[in-house]
Structure 1
Amino acid sequence: MIDGLAVVLFQPKFAQNVGAAARACANMGCGELVLVAPRDWDLERALPMATAKGEPVLRAARVVADLDEALAGFAHVYGTTARTGGWRKGLLAPRAAAGRAVAQCRGGARVALLFGPEDRGLTNTETEVCGQLVTIPTAEASSLNLAQAVLLLLYECLLADQDAPRGDPREPAAHNLATHAEQELLFAAMREALLAIGVLKDQNTDYWMLPVRRFVQRTPLRRAEFNMLMGVCRQVRWVAGRAGLLEPGEPGEGGDGADGNRG
Structure 2
Amino acid sequence: MLDGLAVVLFQPKFAQNVGAAARACANMGCAELVLVAPRDWSLELALPMATAKGEPVLRAARVVGDLGEALAGFAHVYGTTARTGGWRKGLLAPRAAAARVVEQCRGGARVALLFGPEDRGLTNEQTEVCGQLVTIPTAEASSLNLAQAVLLLLYECLLADQDAPRGTPRAPAARNLASHAEQELLFAALREALLAIGVLKDQNTDYWMLPVRRFVQRTPLRRAEFNMLMGVCRQMRWVAERAGLLEPAADPGREPGSGKGEA
Pick the TM interval, shorter chain.
over 0.9
TM-score by length of 2: 0.95
| 1:118 maps to amino acid | E
Residue 167 of structure 1, CA deviation: 2.6
Q: Deviations over 1:166-216 (max 9, x none)?
A: 3346x8951010000000000000000000100001111100000000000
> Is the 1:4–1:108 contact (alpha carbons within 8 Å) kept by the matching residues of 2?
yes
> Does 1:49 find its partner at 2:49?
yes
> Is the 2:12–2:116 contact (alpha carbons within 8 Å) kept by the matching residues of 1?
yes
SS of equivalent residue, structure 2 residue 175:
helix
Q: Tell me which residue corresponds to 1:61.
A: 61
Give the alignment of 1:10-29 within 5 angstroms. Answer: 10-29=10-29
Give the alignment of 1:199-214 within 5 angstroms. Answer: 199-214=199-214
Give the alignment of 1:91-240 within 5 angstroms. Answer: 91-165=91-165, 166-168=167-169, 174-240=174-240
SS of equivalent residue, structure 1 residue 230:
helix
For residues 11 and 232 of structure 1, do their structure 2 counterparts lie closer, same or farther at Cα, with a shift above 3 Å needed? same
Q: 1:261 aligns with which of 251, 255, 258?
A: 258
> Is the 1:234–1:257 contact (alpha carbons within 8 Å) kept by the matching residues of 2?
no
SS of equivalent residue, structure 2 residue 35:
strand
SS of equivalent residue, structure 2 residue 126:
helix
CA distance, structure 2, for counterparts of residue 262 and residue 84 of structure 1: 39
SS of equivalent residue, structure 1 residue 174:
coil
Residue 260 of structure 1, CA deviation: 7.0
Q: Deviations over 1:66-120 (max 9, x none)?
A: 0000000000000000000000000000000000001000011000000000000
Residue 245 of structure 1, CA deviation: 1.1
SS of equivalent residue, structure 1 residue 89:
coil
Residue 244 of structure 1, CA deviation: 1.1
CA distance, structure 2, for counterparts of residue 21 and residue 235 of structure 1: 46
CA distance, structure 1, for counterparts of residue 258 and residue 188 of structure 2: 18
SS of equivalent residue, structure 2 residue 113:
strand
Among the aligned pairs, what percent are the same residue? 87
> Is the 1:238–1:258 contact (alpha carbons within 8 Å) kept by the matching residues of 2?
no
How many residue pairs align between the two structures? Answer: 259
Residue 258 of structure 1, CA deviation: 3.8
Structure 1: where are the runs of 5+ without partners?
Answer: none
CA distance, structure 1, for counterparts of residue 7 and residue 169 of structure 2: 25
Structure 2: where are the runs of 5+ without partners?
Answer: none
